[in-house]
Amino acid sequence: MSELNNIAIRILENGKGILAADESTGTMTKRLDAVKVPSTPENRLLFRETLFSASGMTECIGGVILYDETIKQVSSKKNTIPELITKMGSAPGIKVDTGAKTLAGSADEKITEGLDGLRERLKEYYKLGAKFTKWRGVYSISKNYPSRLSIHANAHALARYSALVQECKMVPIVEPEVLMDGEHSAKECYEKTSEVIKKCFEELIIHKVDLKGIILKPNMILAGNKSKEQISNDEVAKLTLKCLKNSVPSEVPGVAFLSGGQSEIEATENLDLINKYNDTNFIMSFSYGRALQQSALKFWSQNIQNIEGTQKIFNHRAKMNTLAAQGKWSKDLEI
């Protein structure tokens, strides 16, 4: 087994998943504003350190995606944040794209930037302890979108990023996110997501990326959040599996879904059904941001010194998702 394949599997094995705590300072400020906590570097660290030192990390969280600010911060016990995460039995990772900008030639769409100088930044993150990285391409569905241009340009960037990351001995998370915003049907989400993922693999192969040493982070197949035709959780799970079976090469060791605006319970329930029906060899786990942190953040914002209370809520969500990643969750386990 190659070292990269080994890392990818260790992050996702036995129901473990990924905590996506890589909100940029802008996004984290929005999240903290919403719960009326001042967005200072100290408060951002306090919340994140509270989660990273929770007992649920060891059993449930195989990797944590960090933002540039956090990977360079020092915990209250004087460990660097990557040291703290490693001590908890998890792997530190880092978001390395620099955000989605207007795509020249298709101004309503986005292209993710960050390739210039990436090799040098990767070397620095590797020295800081990162074992894996994340880059997110983003696509929205409407009448003429995503365009061929956006599908091609984002796949190309994801492939160039992945090749550089593997050169620097880390596992790239390849995240093509087809957004749930809009009026589109689940069928349209299925078709567009399939096209986007197939194009990504076409480019990854051209760029000689070792598919055994990546983690795919896709969206689930959902109807748009403004669509009148919502589908059942059962259909979400079956369509998601069908899409991945038809578009992901068998060498890929694992898939870690994003939550993308689903509620905490919805994200858990859909992941559980995907695993109950999973007849592939892919590990199907989670890489949730909001669906792992929302309740913990709400509680913490009102009880900022109550570390144990915040950790209890986080531990529960992490445990529920770890059960779901093994198809062993049920609604009556929720509190």
Which positions touch ligand 13P (CB under 6 A)? 20, 136, 175, 258-260, 288-291
Distances (CA, A) of 17 to 14, 25, 271, 325: 9, 23, 11, 8
Nearer to ligand 13P, 48 or 136 (CB): 136
Nearer to ligand 13P, 288 or 329 (CB): 288
Place of tokens 């209250």: 76
CB of 305: closest distance to ligand 13P in angstroms? 26
CB of 293: closest distance to ligand 13P in angstroms? 8
Q: CA 9, CA 313: separation in Å to the nearest integer?
A: 27
Nearer to ligand 13P, 113 or 167 (CB): 113
Query: Cβ–Cβ contacts within 10 Å for residue 312, how many?
Result: 16
Nearer to ligand 13P, 27 or 55 (CB): 27
CB of 257: closest distance to ligand 13P in angstroms? 8
Q: Are 168 and 160 in contact (CB under 8 A)?
A: no
Question: Of residues 36, 217, 298, 319, which has the active-site annotation?
Answer: 217
CB of 146: closest distance to ligand 13P in angstroms? 17
The 10 Å CB-count burial string (b at 16+, else e) for 68-98 is: bbbbebebeeebbbbbbbbebebbbbbbbbb
CB of 258: closest distance to ligand 13P in angstroms? 4
**Catalytic site includes residue 217:** yes
Nearer to ligand 13P, 213 or 260 (CB): 260
Nearer to ligand 13P, 135 or 329 (CB): 135
CB of 287: closest distance to ligand 13P in angstroms? 6
Q: CA 182, CA 219: separation in Å to the nearest integer?
A: 15
Q: Nearest-CB residue to ligand 13P? A: 289
- Compute the CA torsion angle 143, 248, 103, 26 (nearest 10 deg): 100
The catalytic site residues sit at 217
